[in-house]
Amino acid sequence: MLTFVNPLFNRMPVASPPIPERTPAPLRDGEREFIKEAVERFYGPDAIVRNYGPDADRLELHVETDEEMDMRKYDCLGVLLTRVDRRDISLEVTKRGTKIRGNAKLAYRQGVIL
């Protein structure tokens, strides 16, 4: 039996290029301890905090936790904004076992655990 195969339907999509590796900017004196304490206060001692931002003027953090997603993220961010002197602070929160998306992927792959 002869089957016609259309070459237009057998092509695989072109893969996007890999994200270039970014080394996280180092934290200033005392920031590491303060960030860990603030996150533990809102998400418990088993929360994992990652620093993944390469810009020293911005602080990009990711928290992995067993807790439910709720308004704690904004409360925690407010506490961080009061003591950490940066132009911008972003906080991503992911519940363990859920699919990671967006900047959380960068944090998992390139972030440094505090």
CA distance readout (Å), 73 to 2, 5, 42, 70, 85? 61, 53, 8, 7, 19
Q: CB of 100 within 8 A of CB of 91?
A: no
For range 36-57, the mean pLDDT: 92
Pairing relationship of beta strands 112-113 and 48-51 according to DSSP bridges: antiparallel
pLDDT band at 74 (very low <50, low <70, confident <90, very high): very high
Domains of the chain: 31-113 (3.30.460.10)
CA distance readout (Å), 35 to 6, 32, 48, 79? 57, 5, 11, 9
Residue 29: per-residue pLDDT:
85
User: Does the structure show a pLDDT above 70 at 8?
Assistant: no
For range 9-38, the mean pLDDT: 82
Residue 26: per-residue pLDDT:
87
As a 3-state breakdown, the chain gives helix, strand, coil percent values, each rounded to 5, of 30, 20, 50
**Mean pLDDT for the chain overall:** 85
CB atoms inside a 10 Å sphere around CB 102: 9
Residue 22: per-residue pLDDT:
78
For range 5-25, the mean pLDDT: 72
The region that residue 26 occupies, defined by phi over 0 for left and psi between -120 and 50 for alpha, beta otherwise, is beta
Distance CA 114, CA 27 (A): 10
Residue 16: per-residue pLDDT:
79
